[in-house]
Amino acid sequence: MVYNKVEICGINTAKLPVLTEKRKRELLCIIRNGTPAEQEEAREEMISGNLRLVLSVIKRFAGRGELADDLFQVGCIGLIKAIDNFDCEKDVRFSTYGVPMIIGEVRRYLRDHSTLRISRSIKDTAYRAMQEKEKIMAQTGREPTVSEIASAIGQSEEAVVIALESFVEPVSIYDPVYSDGTDTVYIMDTLGDDNDDHRWLERIALMDAFSGLGERERGILTMRYLRGKTQMEVADEIGISQAQVSRLEKGAMKKIREQMT
């Protein structure tokens, strides 16, 4: 996912305006109390002046296989919701309220487009819990406890925890958990197995097969399966077409399978 490009969704990110906190507060007050024409103009300026905030948030979701443009648009929906629901009477910075709203919108999008299937009742509980969480944060400026959320939506604490945990984005077994600069430990290295000797033999065979690949093939597999990049992102990074990346990836995987059989 390329976030440092100049243009995203047709917007030149290098030229995005930056608003002061004072100006944000003025605009939010106009949105609440101004004439329709003033409200519309203030809303446009508020949205434009906070697009950098959206951009900074979606960087957290790199490596999820989603296009940056799609996440940016979803993040903008969260920004608009934050602007429309912000209480300018509260002594809370807009970003304090806006960031969780944007993150929440992006997470909802990722969950709705996930290949994992979660029951409707758990989804409903999770959505209500997240809405209540955002509401409490807007009112108090702090993270609510599970007990507060459960009480507000009439559910047990256990039900709230299960619902929220069910929506935590899955991680890859190839995600790193520790590195000292020379050697990296991945999640797969921390998993137990009934036949550790067999697993170690498989790993050795896999590493031998991997080392037999060309430099470009190793680089592509590393970016795809260790860094979680899409084929389009890999293509942008190394300067070739997505079709070439797909062909090289398939060829490398075929070589590895042949060497391990």
Q: What pLDDT is stored for residue 9 in this prediction?
A: 58
Using CA atoms of 168, 220, 7, 104 in order, give the dihedral in degrees to the nearest 10: 0
Q: What pLDDT is stored for residue 118 in this prediction?
A: 60
Question: CA 136, CA 152: separation in Å to the nearest integer?
Answer: 10
Residue 67 has pLDDT above 70, yes or no: yes
Query: Mean of the per-residue pLDDT values for the chain?
Result: 76
**Range with top average pLDDT, 38-42, 68-72, 92-96:** 38-42
Say if CB 169 and CB 64 are below 8 A apart: yes
0.75 cut: is pTM over it? no
Q: Which of 8-22, 118-132, 194-208 shows the lowest mean pLDDT across its residues?
A: 194-208
- Write the pLDDT tens digit of every residue in 194-228: 444 445 545 555 666 666 778 888 888 877 777 77
Report in angstroms the alpha-carbon separations of 9 from 5, 12, 44, 103, 106: 11, 9, 17, 19, 16
Q: How confident is the model at residue 45 (pLDDT cuts 50, 70, 90)?
A: very high
Question: CA 74, CA 56: separation in Å to the nearest integer?
Answer: 13
Q: What pLDDT is stored for residue 44 in this prediction?
A: 92
pLDDT: is 189 or 138 the higher one?
138
- Write the pLDDT tens digit of every residue in 145-182: 888 888 999 988 888 877 776 655 555 555 554 444 44
Identify the burial level of 26 via C-beta atoms within 10 angstroms of its C-beta, where 0-12 means exposed, 13-18 middle and 19 or more buried: middle
Q: How confident is the model at residue 38 (pLDDT cuts 50, 70, 90)?
A: very high
Q: What pLDDT is stored for residue 109 in this prediction?
A: 83
